[in-house]
Homo-oligomer: A and B are copies of this chain.
Amino acid sequence: MLMIMPLKYAISGRLLARLESSCWMSCAQHARHPRQPTLPTHLGGIRLYSHHASNNPKTSRSWASLASRGAIAVGFAAGSLQLLSDDSYENGDGKVEAKIRTFRLAEVKQHDGSSKNPWVINGISVYDITDWVEAHPGGEVILTAAGGSLEPYWDIFTIHKRPDVYEILEQYKIGEIDDAELKDGRVPQDAIVDPFQNDPERDARLVTLTPCPRNAETPEGGLREFITPNELFYVRNHFWVPAVDGEEHKVIIELTDGSERTYTVKELKQRFQRHKLMTTLQCAGNRRKSMTDGVGPTNGLQWKAGAISTAEWEGVKLVDVLADAGLDIEKLPPDAQHVHFSAMETYGASIPIRKAIDPWGDVLLAFDMNGAELPRDHGYPVRVIVPGTVAARSVKWLSQITISEDESPTQWQRRDYKSFCPSDVKNPDWQRARSIQEMPVTSAITHVEPTRGGRGEVESFCAEGYAYSGGGREIIRVDVSVDGGRTWHEAELLDDEAKVSGSRAWCWKRWRYKGQVPDDGKTVSEAVLVVKATDEAYNAQPQTYESIFNTRGNLATAWDRAKVS
């Protein structure tokens, strides 16, 4: 008998929780009845779990693909249920032993991810997660913790840090760490592996919001350039930066008929025509802090205006690879509706298939960024680039592409990157709300340089910034106001077009405005600049945040404001 627990739905983190929301009800519902098997014994029972994960025939391979889509399944043999009681446990070898057996750290370490019987530590307790792992052979993420402490991982996947989940864990307990190993009654810090220990070094100029996982804004200097230097490109990581095989790293492509094709990065580079593409990437939470400041608390990284950058990417067209893998582009199967991208570290998201095959959609599998190999923070050795679409879909460290009838089942597709009616603060309808794909028009002031007169008072100023709209909709006008939006002046749009490659207007536009401070005396030192942009569909930014406020703080696109001095 198997119990399947949609841990991946549940994946979050202490950091994520602070930043990008956390709870996921279906997990809690499963967790509430940890020992009551709810699914049939055959693997097909995963359907209930994987309702949104796959529409393919279930094969042993499907486990791996579920996992690589971001699914972690928890399973155990129903038979073992009979043997367990409060004062006995079954270890991985099937032996029933007395409780409170003690282990040395070295012994636990032997039960690492490569062991037949992986163990983990939580607090000073030791757990045999063999049955758990058995049911999800692709669950690399949980195996990462094996041989050591769960805690650093559960600090990321914070959904586990609740009484009902700990209750489940207790049922796997096989003993505790020997007193001799403890310091001040705890497992010493150096025995606990830091999942972020292999993260790359970063440029000190980046404005760091969280170090682990690394989330950092492009600093003002970077935002003033049309092309953001690689080392100043904003970083949005949901987890650690995965270790990689480089050219030998594999990307699996799975079609709706269950057929698969695997390419190494080397093959992708050699077999397909390479393309260059210049595009802006923007986080759904860019400018979130201004929404928070304007209305109230939002649940996510408090980005200022630097969660956006522009680069030239080089890679191969996704559509070419999909066609090579056997997808009939001219006549798509009716169940080919979405393209899922799964990352090595567990992140996953999807885009509508039409974007993927649109001849002017320009979706790339990219290897290079601004003429250099992809930096590790930006997806080395291969990432997806989906221009015109929220950057959350441009999945880094790509490991699998899956064609599916449904959207990706991950929380980043089904939950985090959505927006709601402004009044739905307490109970937003996650299911009904649309996943963010193309982004709405926005703009920001990134630099204001006042010119002072003889007595030190501000007389004039030069303001700079960017404007951007999703879907390749070109910015056609940027208006600036020095009187809070009563009167407007058209800003100069910088002539960056000549540099741009791609089928649509995928890049931000930089603007500049030189103006006078209003001479009404009162406002000289308090003059507030306001900026708003218009895209080619004449869509406009909302004036304030009240009307687009959402608990996630996504799409903070109201007029931007800055003081002159």
Measured CB to CB, the residues of A under 8 A from B are: 354, 360, 419, 421-424, 433-434, 436-441, 470-471, 473, 476-477, 479, 485-490, 532, 534, 536-544, 546-548, 555, 557
In the complex, the chain B residue whose C-beta lies closest to that of A358 is B360
Q: How far is the CA of A536 from the CA of B436 in the complex (A)?
A: 8
B residues near A541, Cβ cutoff 8 Å: 540, 542
Q: Which residues of B contact A477 (CB under 8 A)?
A: 421, 433-434
Max count, chain B CB within 10 A of own CB: residue among A485, A532, A534: A534
Q: Are A434 and B536 in contact (CB under 8 A)?
A: yes
In the complex the two chains form, is B543's CB within 8 Å of A555's CB?
no
Q: Per a CB cutoff under 8 Å, which of B437, B473, B488 touches A423? A: B488
- Taking the closest CB of chain B, its distance from the CB of A352, in whole angstroms, is 10
Q: How far is the CA of A355 from the CA of B246 in the complex (A)?
A: 41
B540 & A547 in contact (Cβ 8 Å cutoff): yes
Q: Which residues from chain B contact A487 at a C-beta distance below 8 Å?
A: 422-423
Q: How far does the alpha carbon of A379 sit from the alpha carbon of B541 in the complex, in Å? A: 36
Partner of A543, one of B424, B471, B538, B542: B542
B-chain residues with CB within 8 Å of residue A421 when the two chains form the complex: 477, 479, 488-490
Contact partners of A422 in chain B: CB under 8 A: 479, 487-488
Task: List 3 tightest A-B contacts by C-beta distance, closest first.
Answer: A438-B537, A539-B539, A440-B539
A441 to B, closest residue via Cβ: B539
Q: Are B538 and A419 in contact (CB under 8 A)?
A: yes
Complex CA distance for A424 and B488, rounded to whole angstroms: 9
Q: With a CB–CB cut-off of 8 A, which chain B residues contact A354?
A: 360
Q: A421-B479, A477-B421 are in contact. Are A537 and B488 (CB under 8 A)?
A: no
| A2 CB to nearest chain B CB (Å) | 37
Q: Which residues of B contact A539 (CB under 8 A)?
A: 440-441, 537, 539
Q: Chain B's nearest CB lies how many Å from the CB of A561?
A: 14
* Min C-beta distance of A386 to chain B, whole Å: 14
Chain B residues in 8 Å Cβ range of A423: 479, 487-490
Which B residues are CB-close (under 8 A) to A440? 537-540
* Max count, chain B CB within 10 A of own CB: residue among A439, A547, A557: A547
By a CB distance below 8 angstroms, the chain B residues around A470 are 537
Instruction: Pick the contact of A547: B360, B441, B473, B485 (CB < 8 A).
Output: B485
Q: Which residues of B contact A537 (CB under 8 A)?
A: 437-440, 470-471, 539
The answer for the CA separation of A563 and B488 in the assembled complex, in Å, is 31
Check B485 against A546 for contact (C-beta < 8 Å). yes
A548 to B488, CA, bound (A): 10
**Distance (Å) between the CB of A265 and the closest chain B CB?**
31
Beyond the given pairs A437-B537, A438-B537, A440-B538, 13 more chain A to chain B contacts, judged by CB atoms under 8 angstroms and listed by A's residue number, are A419-B534, A421-B488, A434-B477, A434-B538, A439-B537, A440-B539, A440-B540, A441-B539, A470-B537, A488-B547, A538-B555, A540-B542, A542-B542
The residues of B that contact A436 with a CB separation of less than 8 Å are 538
Q: How far is the CB of A117 from chain B (nearest CB, A)?
A: 49
| Beta-carbon nearest neighbor of A491 in chain B | B421
Complex CA distance for A473 and B472, rounded to whole angstroms? 13
Whole-angstrom CA separation of A360 from B357 in the bound complex: 12
Which of chain B's residues have a CB closer than 8 A to the CB of A473?
438
Q: Which residue of B lies closest to A558 (CB)?
A: B540
Q: Chain B residues with Cβ under 8 A from A548's Cβ?
A: 540
Give the docked Cα–Cα distance between A439 and B537 (Å): 5
Interchain residue pairs with CB less than 8 A apart (21): A421-B477, A421-B489, A421-B490, A422-B487, A423-B487, A424-B490, A433-B476, A433-B477, A434-B476, A434-B477, A436-B538, A439-B537, A439-B538, A440-B537, A471-B537, A485-B547, A532-B547, A538-B555, A540-B557, A542-B542, A542-B543
Alpha-carbon separation in the docked complex, A506 to B261 (Å): 37
The answer to whether A544 touches B543 (Cβ under 8 A) is yes
Looking at A488, A539, A541, which has the most chain B CB atoms within 10 Å of its CB? A539
Instruction: Determine the distance from Cα of A542 to Cα of B532 in the docked complex, in whole angstroms.
Output: 11
With A and B bound together, what is the CA distance between A112 and B449 in angstroms? 68
Q: Contacts A424-B490, A476-B434, A490-B421 given: A547-B538 contact, CB under 8 Å?
A: no
Contact A536/B424 with A542-B543, A543-B543, A547-B485 known, Cβ cut-off 8 Å: no
Give bound CA distance, A477 to B433, whole Å: 8
A517 to chain B, nearest CB (A): 17
Across-interface contacts of A419 in B (CB, < 8 A): 534, 538
Q: Complex: how many Å from CA A479 to CA B546? A: 13
Give the shortest distance, in Å, between A463 (CB) and chain B (any CB): 16
Residues in chain B near residue A557, CB distance under 8 A: 540
Question: Which of A440, A540, A543 has the largest number of chain B CB atoms within 10 A?
Answer: A540
- How far does the alpha carbon of A534 sit from the alpha carbon of B550 in the complex, in Å? 13
Chain B residue nearest to A530 (CB atoms) is B547
